[in-house]
């Protein structure tokens, strides 16, 4: 009996249809007899009908399983099988369900459920992968105690919870904490570990391990330190202690996501845990620290308290992203972290929120939940937590979250539960605030000002454009952090939070000696688009004087964007005031180098395209590219005298350390080097490449050499040096495409897809090439359409292997309505070609259909 029929009819699931499962799952015992192409999974599950349950239909999810046998209370059962699962007649009282199924981990290229990667077994069950392991009520609100027995020849056999027994070829694990099936994990392989221990605040000793393939042992130390820092931080910041005797992390090469928070057994994409100075950049180190923290923090926000259904995904993700951002802010620079997060939000979430894939932070319907692991649910979800904290204050936030842990530990919850603890502990009515969860789209905030007799009034007007399925929007609660400066740059009104609740609302400040300069949305206090007619002089003033570092950066960023837009639209010369302000700031040694590096980082070309589109102008990718080149060249020439000195001053001497201060200095050094390369054709970059003893400097030097089209020798040397290192090779693949000129990008990417080290089966490698192509704005959108065609060609092939990664990569097309009719026609043709592919997955079909419906 095999049930692997293709899922053809796309069913839509609705939040409003939620009904609880009719049975308690009292306990789960699983036995795995591992074999690459024929693993047997034996399950013994005790079910008890819930008193008063409305739906007592016994349905277990199951996909691509070969059912060998099924029993109820020891007697053979004859369930009805479909492609999605089984139904069966069951007793009216507690009963034992036993099933044996066979699965094929070696043939599992979708990387969901149990699969093999580099000879090891591993799992990915979130969101709905467990149903590919055995028949089970695979929904997050079904929580149970799992005991797992693994039989296999591998040296290391791991599952969730605490080890019960270990012997040659056999291991048994017991997880005392009830959990949903999506948190189940199993790993088996000939792995080596990097061990350590951690003593919790109550004095309990926890065994820690990072498990890797032999040869990667020397890349675990940084991840381990990050884990211990995270454990300490969660105790101090949230009072949350770890709750098992052991915490295992495993690095896996083939993985669809970044990492997964399975209880006590986190599984990581190796790119998100393995680090060494020779092979990882500063950005890699920072990301690894953040992701280890993120997955660890899920132990409380996600695992101990989980989601009732997948519509509530932001309950665990928004909160946990917010928590990991707090952690990074505490470990590094809070302002630099905030600026980086906003750059990311605008690059990924804003276009999503304003395009065909726009959806509420808590969606109300989906076809394939894998398509909702989005920037909106994660990053905008985190912004909502930040706004809530700002509105209620730090102490009230902590009190409410404590209540959340007290009240809901061990439960599967909803956004309503989350907001209720804030209402109960603060007395605040959050009904209007809740619109942030239910309404899609990015609000635009218009600002007008007036000044008379010492009285200054700001009038804000909010509006949100229609999004798919939501033509009308109601006003939201918008916390606007605001400060006022006088003409000397002194602060006459320190940061205060204005609480906007109306569609149009005014706030007045009295007793001012002169008309102030407002600093609006400090720390980017709400994820909105600020629309304010103001002068280049005022932005220059804020860039020089604002006490809020975020808004200082914002002033510089806006200046850069406007200068670029003037260049694109009017062929104007680069704004002199901006260039002058930038020079001053770059040389200001009192400012954090990491901050100066961010100010020097130009807005992305996609960002310029989006801004033009929002202003009703069809963006021309080639013109935007040319303007970026001209501005960078002009800036390099203006700074010519100071660049060699700045380069020398920001060069970090001595042994490499990934700490925030050194990394910030290197970030500024890299920005200086890119400008220098525009003047010297790559001489300094070539010297840096030759002498670099760490990846950050080697990578920066190679990048700018490639950009100057003068790095062929170094690129070849880099390949020869690192061809044996999978993660460094991903960088090599990506760099060549990312830095190719618009005319060459698609051809370079196409050549790389024919390279001996290119494979569709490894999501990292696929993303390295195709992600870089999609990220090369002028190259991907080249008028020839070659970029679109190459991506579509590859998506069509990948879909038959790995629907999840294919569907996610379709987002490269989500902004297609921005562009001219010719480009739209070219993209539409590719989208239709993908959609008409025979046997297209549900994942990709849903994504392409939504994008086409725009
Ligand atoms: Zn997460």
CB atoms within 10 A of CB 763: 25
Measured in Å, residue 519 CA sits from the centre of ligand 1 at: 33
CB 146 within 8 A of CB 170: no
Measured in Å, residue 294 CA sits from the centre of ligand 1 at: 6
Mean pLDDT of 40-58: 94
Using pLDDT thresholds of 50, 70 and 90, give the confidence band for residue 9. low
* The three-state (H, E, C) secondary structure of 125-148, written as one string: CCCCCHHHCCCECCCCCCCEEEEE
C-alpha pair distances (Å), 112 with each of 107, 338, 769: 11, 33, 22
Return the closest-CA partner of residue 343 out of 60, 621, 553.
553
The pLDDT, as a whole number, for residue 839 is 96
Measured in Å, residue 175 CA sits from the centre of ligand 1 at: 21
Measured in Å, residue 599 CA sits from the centre of ligand 1 at: 30
Measured in Å, residue 323 CA sits from the centre of ligand 1 at: 10
Q: Which residues pair with 207 in a beta bridge?
A: 197, 246
Count Cα atoms within 13 angstroms, Cβ side, for 73: 9
CB 332 within 8 A of CB 269: no
CB atoms within 10 A of CB 689: 22
Measured in Å, residue 295 CA sits from the centre of ligand 1 at: 6
Give the pLDDT confidence of 389-435 residue by residue, as tens digits.
999 999 999 999 999 999 999 999 999 999 999 999 999 999 999 99
Give the pLDDT confidence of 235-253 residue by residue, as tens digits.
999 999 999 999 999 999 9
CA angle 717, 718, 719 (to 5 degrees): 90
Instruction: Flag whether pLDDT at 53 surpasses 90.
Output: no
Non-local CB neighbours of 526 within 8 Å, separated by 6+ positions: 383, 387, 443, 445, 478, 479, 480
CB 511 within 8 A of CB 326: no
- Is the pTM above the cut of 0.85? yes
The pLDDT, as a whole number, for residue 3 is 39
Give the pLDDT confidence of 754-773 residue by residue, as tens digits.
999 999 999 999 999 999 99
Length of the chain: 854
The pLDDT, as a whole number, for residue 229 is 98
CB 307 within 8 A of CB 315: yes
Instruction: Flag whether pLDDT at 1 surpasses 70.
Output: no
Measured in Å, residue 230 CA sits from the centre of ligand 1 at: 15
CB 130 within 8 A of CB 184: yes
CA angle 418, 423, 424 (to 5 degrees): 100
Measured in Å, residue 288 CA sits from the centre of ligand 1 at: 14
Is 561 buried (19+), middle (13-18) or exposed (0-12) by CB count in 10 A? middle
* The three-state (H, E, C) secondary structure of 225-264, written as one string: HHHHHHHHHHHHHHCCCCCCCEEEEEEECCCCCCEECCCC
Give the integer Cα–Cα distance in Å for 673 and 686: 11
DSSP state of 839: T
Give the pLDDT confidence of 519-576 residue by residue, as tens digits.
999 999 999 999 998 999 999 999 999 999 999 999 999 999 999 999 999 999 999 9
Measured in Å, residue 673 CA sits from the centre of ligand 1 at: 36
Coil, strand or helix at 612: helix
Secondary structure (DSSP) of 279-333: T--HHHHHHHHHHHHHHHHTTTBTTTBEESSGGGHHHHHHHHHHHHHHHHHHHS-
Instruction: Flag whether pLDDT at 7 surpasses 70.
Output: no
Measured in Å, residue 312 CA sits from the centre of ligand 1 at: 13
CB atoms within 10 A of CB 557: 23
Measured in Å, residue 474 CA sits from the centre of ligand 1 at: 30
DSSP state of 310: G
Share of the chain above pLDDT 90, in %: 97
Measured in Å, residue 321 CA sits from the centre of ligand 1 at: 7
Measured in Å, residue 296 CA sits from the centre of ligand 1 at: 9
Helices 549-570 + 536-545 axis angle, to 10 = 150
Measured in Å, residue 551 CA sits from the centre of ligand 1 at: 29
Give the pLDDT confidence of 644-665 residue by residue, as tens digits.
999 999 999 999 999 999 999 9
Residue 712 phi, psi dihedral angles, 5° rounding: -60, -45
Give the pLDDT confidence of 346-386 residue by residue, as tens digits.
999 999 999 999 999 999 999 999 999 999 999 999 999 99
Measured in Å, residue 317 CA sits from the centre of ligand 1 at: 5
Q: What radius of gyration do the chain's Cα atoms show?
A: 27
Give the integer Cα–Cα distance in Å for 137 and 411: 16
Return the active site residues. Answer: 295
Give the pLDDT confidence of 278-327 residue by residue, as tens digits.
999 999 999 999 999 999 999 999 999 999 999 999 999 999 999 999 99
CB 740 within 8 A of CB 779: yes
Instruction: Indicate the average pLDDT of the chain.
Output: 96
Instruction: Flag whether pLDDT at 742 surpasses 70.
Output: yes
Q: Which two tokens stand for residue 230?
A: 């995270």
Measured in Å, residue 804 CA sits from the centre of ligand 1 at: 17
Measured in Å, residue 324 CA sits from the centre of ligand 1 at: 10
Give the integer Cα–Cα distance in Å for 32 and 714: 49
Residue 411 phi, psi dihedral angles, 5° rounding: -115, 165
Give the pLDDT confidence of 455-499 residue by residue, as tens digits.
999 999 999 999 999 999 999 999 999 999 999 999 999 999 999
Using pLDDT thresholds of 50, 70 and 90, give the confidence band for residue 274. very high
CB atoms within 10 A of CB 4: 11
The region that residue 557 occupies, defined by phi over 0 for left and psi between -120 and 50 for alpha, beta otherwise, is alpha
Measured in Å, residue 697 CA sits from the centre of ligand 1 at: 31
Instruction: Flag whether pLDDT at 717 surpasses 70.
Output: yes
Measured in Å, residue 506 CA sits from the centre of ligand 1 at: 39
Measured in Å, residue 494 CA sits from the centre of ligand 1 at: 35
Give the pLDDT confidence of 688-698 residue by residue, as tens digits.
999 999 999 99
Give the integer Cα–Cα distance in Å for 149 and 547: 59
Q: Which helix (H) or strand (E) holds 626?
A: helix 621-638
The pLDDT, as a whole number, for residue 55 is 81
Count Cα atoms within 13 angstroms, Cβ side, for 351: 22
Return the closest-CA partner of residue 624 out of 563, 533, 701, 696.
563
The pLDDT, as a whole number, for residue 2 is 38
């Amino acid at each position: 009996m095999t049930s692997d029929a293709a899922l053809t009819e796309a069913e839509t699931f609705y939040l409003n249809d939620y009904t609880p499962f009719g049975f308690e799952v009292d306990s789960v015992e699983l036995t795995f007899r591992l074999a690459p192409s024929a693993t047997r999974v034996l399950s013994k599950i005790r079910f008890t009908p819930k008193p008063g349950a409305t739906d007592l239909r016994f349905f277990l999810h199951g996909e691509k399983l070969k059912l060998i046998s099924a029993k109820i209370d020891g007697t053979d059962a004859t369930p009805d099988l479909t492609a999605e699962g089984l139904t069966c007649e069951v007793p009216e009282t507690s009963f034992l369900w036993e099933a044996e199924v066979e699965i094929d981990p070696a043939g599992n290229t979708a990387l969901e459920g149990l699969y093999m990667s580099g000879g090891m077994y591993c799992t990915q069950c979130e969101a709905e992968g467990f149903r590919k392991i055995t028949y089970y009520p695979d929904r997050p609100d079904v929580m149970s105690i799992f005991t797992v027995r693994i039989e296999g020849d591998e040296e290391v056999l791991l599952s969730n919870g605490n080890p019960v027994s270990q012997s040659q070829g056999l291991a048994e694990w017991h997880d005392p904490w009830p959990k949903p099936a999506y948190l189940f994990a199993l790993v088996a392989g000939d792995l080596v570990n990097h061990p350590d221990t951690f003593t919790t605040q109550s004095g309990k000793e926890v065994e820690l391990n990072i498990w890797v393939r032999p040869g990667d042992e020397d890349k675990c130390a940084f991840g381990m330190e990050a884990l211990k820092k995270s454990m300490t931080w969660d105790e101090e910041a949230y009072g949350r202690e770890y709750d098992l005797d052991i915490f295992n992390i495993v690095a896996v090469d083939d993985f669809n996501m970044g990492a997964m928070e399975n209880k006590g057994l986190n599984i990581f994409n190796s790119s998100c845990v393995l680090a060494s100075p020779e092979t990882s950049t500063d950005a890699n180190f920072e990301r690894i620290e953040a992701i280890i923290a993120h997955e660890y923090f899920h132990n409380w926000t996600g695992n101990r308290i989980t989601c009732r259904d997948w519509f509530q995904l932001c309950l665990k993700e928004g909160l946990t992203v917010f928590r990991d951002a707090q952690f990074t802010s505490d470990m590094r620079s809070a302002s630099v972290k905030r600026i980086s997060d906003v750059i990311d939000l605008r690059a990924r979430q804003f276009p999503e929120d304003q395009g065909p894939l726009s959806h509420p932070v808590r969606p109300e319907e989906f076809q394939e939940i894998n398509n909702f692991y989005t920037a909106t649910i994660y990053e905008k979800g985190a912004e909502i937590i930040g706004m809530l904290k700002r509105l209620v204050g730090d102490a009230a936030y902590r009190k409410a979250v404590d209540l959340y842990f007290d009240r809901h530990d061990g439960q599967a919850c909803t956004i309503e539960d989350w907001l209720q603890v804030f209402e109960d502990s603060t007395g605040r009515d959050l009904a209007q605030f809740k619109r942030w969860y239910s309404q899609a789209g990015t609000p635009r905030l218009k600002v007008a000002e007036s000044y008379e007799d010492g009285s200054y009034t700001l009038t804000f007007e909010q509006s949100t454009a229609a999004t798919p399925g939501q033509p009308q929007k109601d006003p939201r609660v918008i916390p606007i952090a605001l400060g006022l400066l006088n003409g000397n740059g002194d602060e006459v009104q320190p940061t205060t939070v204005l609480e906007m609740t109306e569609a149009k609302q005014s706030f007045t400040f009295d007793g001012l000696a002169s008309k102030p300069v407002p600093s609006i949305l400090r720390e980017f206090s709400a994820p909105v688009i600020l629309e304010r007619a103001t002068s280049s002089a005022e932005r220059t003033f804020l860039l020089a004087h604002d006490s809020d570092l975020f808004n200082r950066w914002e002033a510089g960023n806006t200046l850069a964007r406007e200068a670029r837009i003037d260049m694109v639209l009017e062929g104007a010369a680069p704004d002199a005031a901006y260039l002058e302000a930038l020079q001053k700031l770059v040389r200001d040694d009192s400012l954090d180098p990491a901050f100066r590096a961010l100010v020097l980082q130009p807005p992305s070309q996609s960002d310029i395209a989006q801004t033009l589109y929002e202003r009703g102008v069809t963006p021309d990718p080639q013109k935007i590219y040319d303007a970026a080149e001209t501005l960078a060249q002009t800036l390099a020439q203006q700074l010519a005298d100071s660049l060699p000195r700045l380069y020398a001053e920001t060069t970090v001497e001595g042994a490499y350390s990934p700490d925030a201060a050194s990394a910030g200095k290197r970030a500024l050094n890299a920005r200086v080097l890119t400008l220098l390369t525009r003047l010297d054709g790559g001489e300094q970059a070539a010297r840096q490449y030759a002498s670099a003893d760490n990846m950050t400097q080697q990578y920066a030097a190679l990048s700018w050499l490639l950009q100057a089209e003068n790095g062929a020798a170094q690129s070849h040397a880099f390949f020869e040096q690192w061809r044996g290192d999978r993660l460094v090779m991903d960088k090599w693949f990506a760099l060549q495409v990312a830095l190719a000129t618009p005319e060459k990008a698609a051809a370079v990417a196409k050549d790389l897809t024919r390279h001996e080290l290119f494979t569709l089966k490894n999501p990292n490698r696929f993303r390295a090439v195709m992600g870089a192509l999609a990220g090369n704005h002028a190259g991907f959108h080249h008028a020839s359409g070659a970029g679109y065609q190459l991506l579509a060609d590859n998506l069509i092939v990948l879909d038959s292997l790995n629907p999840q990664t294919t569907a996610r990569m379709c987002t490269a097309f989500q902004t297609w309505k921005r562009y001219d009719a010719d480009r739209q026609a070219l993209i539409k043709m590719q989208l239709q070609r993908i959609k008409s592919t025979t046997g297209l997955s549900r994942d990709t079909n849903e994504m392409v259909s939504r994008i086409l419906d725009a």
